[in-house]
Amino acid sequence: MSKIQSVPKTSLSPDLTADVVLADFRLAMLSRHASLIGRKEVFMGKAKFGIFGDGKELAQIAMARAFQIGDFRAGYYRDQTFMMALGELNVSEYFAQLYAHTDVEAEPASGGRLMNGHFATRSLNEDGSWKNLTEMYNSAADVSPTAAQMPKLLGLAYASKIYRENKGLKDLNQFSINGNEVAWGTIGNASTSEGMFFESINAAGVMQVPMVVSVWDDGYGISVPKEFHTTKGSISEVLEGFARTDSQAGIEIIRVKGWDYEALLNAYLKAGELARVSHVPVLIHVEELTQPQGHSTSGSHERYKTEERLKWEKEWDCINKFREYILSNQIATADTLEAIEAEAKAQAKKEKEAAWASFSGEIKTELAEAVRLINEAAENSTRKVVLNQIAHELSKTINPIRKDVISAVRKVLLMLRSDSPSTKAGLKSWYEKQTSLNFDRYNSHLYSQSQWNVGSVEEILPEFTEKSPLVDGREILQAFFDYTLEKNPEFFAFGEDVGKIGDVNQAFAGLQAKYGANRVADTGIRECTIIGQGIGTALRGLRPIAEIQYLDYLLYGLQMLSDDLACLQYRTKGGQKAPLIVRTRGHRLEGVWHSGSPMGMILSSLRGMVICVPRDMTQAAGMYATLLNSDEPALVIECLNGYRLKEKMPSNLGEFTVPMGKPEILKTGKDLTIVTYGSMCRIILEAATELAEIGIDVEVIDVQTLLPFDIHGVIGDSVKKTNRVIFADEDVPGGASAFMLQQVIEGQEAFKYLDSEPQTITGKAHRPAYSSDGDYFSKPSVDDVVEKVYAMMHEVDPKKFPGI
Ligand SMILES: Cc1ncc(C[n+]2csc(CCOP(=O)(O)OP(=O)(O)O)c2C)c(N)n1
Ligand SMILES: [Mg+2]
């Protein structure tokens, strides 16, 4: 017998009055007309692209009814009706996003930074502090990559479990009330083919977290029918093995038709209750949904759907069926429904017009100012005629955008280059003001702008006494984590082998036994959802460390880090934060998958995160302390070969901090500066000793963090002194060494002080071969460094340093 539940029809429940039903009908109609008008707006050229939630209205209304204050949503671009039902999106805001209105008052989800259909609530006050999330409806900020909402959904649900089980969090009532919050996910049927969907479902089944996933099944993923996406063409059938039974925990799987109003209401109430009370994960397969306008404005579905299918979609359109339901139950007459529809349509149109007036009005004002200032400048310019002409053409632009205005002004300023400063002063100062406003509109909030950003954390130096013992590096981390687990109830850690054995290098050894399995936890082997667990819990006020066992396996989680975490503050324009710390270890040990140092890849994909590359475990502990005192997400890469190396145990462990973006000079020298980080610090210092023996005095600088990078120009100052520089690391040629070179030579203008060509020392372009010989011939060695430096000095003074 199938373990999948079909929801039986019941008679109307007492609170389902005619008024409630008709309000639902009205909302469905409002949302539908917003979709219909939205497509037209795109075709009129007022927006670039549109993707709408038509055909999915009824199920979302049912979901909203079960969604409670304090709950979280993580979904995708079809969910406008749900957001409207919660009162978290009005039609004006909906259109403001379609037009890309940059004002967060008008477009609170992203401040115009995201395509339409990307929903989010604002968890943060303007100063970056948390709101009380238990007093509001919450939606995590959507992302476009299909199924990428799933890993963080798991984390949002996991947070409820932690809040319920960890009694130390009782007072943190701004984020949870006894873990009663449900995390509600939505996903398209085709997107369930993605690996992260299955990974998240499996993890939810294992962890038993309050997560309710709705699959909006409209039979297609753009043009491809579901038979090409899903085995047996049915995701609920495929997942049957996950279904819970009387004797085994698992997932509650419910199947319901997307046009069946009562069945939908019942399904969602049941799912919500089960998840909320018993923390059982639920999957609701909502079948027989439609796409009245096709997938998006990028194409028409007549190209790939048969006439028969198109006819079926018209007939089974959920609003159509809802209308039939209302009439057959004599809840209202056809005339009443028509009147409701007309009213909803008029409201959608009116709100759309208000959104357009507000969006375009701002730009028109800017345009008028620019035209006036160009004409003013023209009065005293030698190029009066052509400038008046530019101003005239600009004033005639139909549906102007900012680019039209700013580009014209920049061209004019170039034309005015030979005119007197007073001629162009007005235009120039207006342009400068706009540049700053546009920075805020389009470029701000990549990193935290709150008082808790990493730059604001006070530097506290590590303290040592004469009695400070020499210990294995891993013991320093272990003592730090012990201290922090004790002191900070929001702090917890999880990952593969992190729990029982305390991670493969034992920095958490014994700490699960001491603090419990919900503070130091094992997970399955599933890096993508380990990151999702971290993001979701950090979005709900917790301070997780998510561990990726080796740097080489970060790739499995990199997509989530890049698409979700790193751009979270940016894409919500400071509306949300998730100060997750990802801990991993790498750079060098043995072989192709345990020696990677793909820092260039990380630097390119994780702008928005802090990237720490400590050279030893003392530095690492100080960095964790800084990060835990800040509200920024970070990746910390410990040195894989450093856990057994001896370090002095600081006496103020847990208190001392390492500043971010402040390199440390490990050795002063006058001939040449070598800039490096991580495991290479030891190699370079060893080389420096050898070089000193042959009369070359190098300065060695550890950058400590790659993002932020040397904010005070320590390296530039060093190059000013030595006039020579080498950037050394273990990445491929042109990887992070090229990044450092760009930051210093271009960013700090160090080219002005160079007497020799700047150089890099890197690993080979291939992955490192196995064994110590593999390491020697793949990664930069002390010999490589000595030779490179010597060759540079030979070029400077061949007499003193004859060729080898
Ligand atoms: C990783 C990724 N691959 C491809 C796309 C392009 N894309 C956007 S929507 C979509 C189809 C999704 O279909 P489905 O999940 O059924 O959702 P629906 O649009 O039908 O509601 C595709 C392929 C994407 N956004 N992300
Ligand atoms: Mg679909």
Report, as an integer, the average pLDDT of 27-45.
97
Using the mean position of ligand 1's atoms as its centre, give its distance from the Cα of residue 49 in Å. Answer: 15
Of all protein residues, the one whose alpha carbon is nearest to atom 26 of ligand 1 is 145
d(CA 576, CA 273): 28
User: Does residue 146's CB lie within 6 angstroms of at least one atom of ligand 1?
Assistant: yes
User: Does residue 705's CB lie within 6 angstroms of at least one atom of ligand 1?
Assistant: no
Using the mean position of ligand 1's atoms as its centre, give its distance from the Cα of residue 605 in Å. Answer: 22
DSSP code of residue 100: T
Q: What six digits make up the tokens of 619? A: 């530095």
pLDDT at 2 over 70: no
User: Does residue 225's CB lie within 6 angstroms of at least one atom of ligand 1?
Assistant: no
Using the mean position of ligand 2's atoms as its centre, give its distance from the Cα of residue 161 in Å. Answer: 31
- Per-residue pLDDT of 596-654, as tens digits, reads 999 999 999 999 999 999 999 999 999 999 999 999 999 999 999 999 999 999 999 99
Report, as an integer, the average pLDDT of 305-334.
97
- φ, ψ for residue 734, nearest 5 deg: 80, 5
pLDDT at 291 over 70: yes
Ligand lying nearest the CA atom of residue 54: 1
- Per-residue pLDDT of 187-202, as tens digits, reads 999 999 999 999 999 9
Do the beta carbons of residue 209 and residue 181 sit within 8 Å?
Answer: no
- Per-residue pLDDT of 551-603, as tens digits, reads 999 999 999 999 999 999 999 999 999 999 999 999 988 889 999 999 999 99
Do the beta carbons of residue 39 and residue 95 sit within 8 Å?
Answer: no
Query: Is the dihedral angle over the CA atoms 15, 16, 18, 19 positive or is it negative?
Result: positive
Report, as an integer, the average pLDDT of 113-120.
98
When computed from its CA atoms, the radius of gyration of the chain, rounded to whole angstroms, is 30
User: Does residue 501's CB lie within 6 angstroms of at least one atom of ligand 1?
Assistant: no
pLDDT at 590: 84
Give one DSSP letter per residue of 332-361, joined into a string. Answer: S-HHHHHHHHHHHHHHHHHHHHHHHHHHHH
- φ, ψ for residue 2, nearest 5 deg: -60, 140
Q: What six digits make up the tokens of 732? A: 């491929």
Q: At 299, is the pLDDT very low, low, confident or very high (cuts 50, 70, 90)? A: confident
Ligand lying nearest the CA atom of residue 191: 1
Catalytic residue among 118, 445, 594, 712: 594
Report, as an integer, the average pLDDT of 377-399.
96
d(CA 441, CA 436): 9
pLDDT at 13: 65
pLDDT at 717 over 90: yes
For ligand 1, what atom is nearest to the CA of residue 187? 15
Ligand lying nearest the CA atom of residue 148: 1
Report, as an integer, the average pLDDT of 429-435.
98
Residues 6+ apart with CB under 8 A from 483: 653, 654
Let me know if 594 is a catalytic residue: yes
pLDDT at 328: 96
Do the beta carbons of residue 68 and residue 272 sit within 8 Å?
Answer: yes
Query: Is the dihedral angle over the CA atoms 740, 662, 559, 493 positive or is it negative?
Result: positive
Q: What six digits make up the tokens of 189? A: 């049927």
For ligand 1, what atom is nearest to the CA of residue 78? 21
pLDDT at 16: 84
- Ordered strands of the 520-522 beta sheet: 520-522, 491-495, 543-547, 581-586, 634-639, 610-612, 705-707
For ligand 1, what atom is nearest to the CA of residue 146? 26
274 vs 173, which has greater pLDDT? 274
Let me know the angle formed at the C-alpha of 677 by 671 and 679, rounded to the nearest 5 degrees: 110
User: Does residue 190's CB lie within 6 angstroms of at least one atom of ligand 1?
Assistant: yes
Using the mean position of ligand 2's atoms as its centre, give its distance from the Cα of residue 225 in Å. Answer: 8
Report, as an integer, the average pLDDT of 426-443.
98
Do the beta carbons of residue 542 and residue 130 sit within 8 Å?
Answer: no
User: Does residue 193's CB lie within 6 angstroms of at least one atom of ligand 1?
Assistant: no
Using the mean position of ligand 1's atoms as its centre, give its distance from the Cα of residue 221 in Å. Answer: 6
Report, as an integer, the average pLDDT of 459-486.
97
Other C-beta atoms closer than 10 Å to the C-beta of 379 total 10
Give one DSSP letter per residue of 484-518, joined into a string. Answer: HHHH-TTEEEEETT-SSS-STT-TTTTHHHHH-TT
Give per-residue burial for 151-169: e unless 16+ CB within 10 Å, then b. Answer: bbbbbbbbbbbbbbebebb
d(CA 704, CA 168): 34
**Structure-token match 């959608």, residue found:** 348
Closest to 70 in 3D by CA, of 143, 187, 156, 169:
156
pLDDT at 1 over 70: no
Using the mean position of ligand 1's atoms as its centre, give its distance from the Cα of residue 114 in Å. Answer: 16
Of all protein residues, the one whose alpha carbon is nearest to atom 13 of ligand 1 is 221
Query: Quick one: 751 exposed, middle or buried, by C-beta within 10 A (0-12, 13-18, 19+)?
Result: exposed
Mean pLDDT of the chain: 96
For ligand 1, what atom is nearest to the CA of residue 222? 11
For ligand 1, what atom is nearest to the CA of residue 51? 19
Report, as an integer, the average pLDDT of 279-290.
98
User: Does residue 78's CB lie within 6 angstroms of at least one atom of ligand 1?
Assistant: yes
Of all protein residues, the one whose alpha carbon is nearest to atom 18 of ligand 1 is 188
Report, as an integer, the average pLDDT of 349-378.
98
Report, as an integer, the average pLDDT of 300-319.
96
Closest to 662 in 3D by CA, of 707, 718, 599:
707
Whole-prediction pTM value?
0.97
Mutating to test ligand 1, I would choose from 51, 82, 146 the residue with most ligand atoms within 8 A of its C-beta, which is 146
**Structure-token match 């890849």, residue found:** 601
Of all protein residues, the one whose alpha carbon is nearest to atom 20 of ligand 1 is 221
Report, as an integer, the average pLDDT of 528-539.
98
Of all protein residues, the one whose alpha carbon is nearest to atom 8 of ligand 1 is 146
User: Does residue 563's CB lie within 6 angstroms of at least one atom of ligand 1?
Assistant: no
Of all protein residues, the one whose alpha carbon is nearest to atom 21 of ligand 1 is 188
Continuous segment of H or E residues that includes residue 211: strand 211-216
Continuous segment of H or E residues that includes residue 127: none
Amino acid at 613: V
CA-to-CA separations, 801 to 670, 694, 722, 726, 796, in angstroms, rounded: 16, 9, 17, 18, 8
CA-to-CA separations, 315 to 55, 293, 318, 321, in angstroms, rounded: 11, 14, 9, 8
Distance of CA 661 to the CA centre of its chain: 22
Using the mean position of ligand 2's atoms as its centre, give its distance from the Cα of residue 720 in Å. Answer: 60
pLDDT at 258: 98
User: Does residue 189's CB lie within 6 angstroms of at least one atom of ligand 1?
Assistant: yes
Q: Give the whole-number percent of the chain exceeding pLDDT 70.
A: 98
Closest to 785 in 3D by CA, of 737, 753, 714, 722:
737
pLDDT at 753 over 60: yes
Return the bridge partners of 722, or none: none
Continuous segment of H or E residues that includes residue 94: helix 91-99
Using the mean position of ligand 2's atoms as its centre, give its distance from the Cα of residue 389 in Å. Answer: 51
pLDDT at 133 over 90: yes
pLDDT at 589: 84
Residues 6+ apart with CB under 8 A from 657: 457, 458, 459, 460, 622, 623, 625, 626, 629
Of all protein residues, the one whose alpha carbon is nearest to atom 15 of ligand 1 is 188
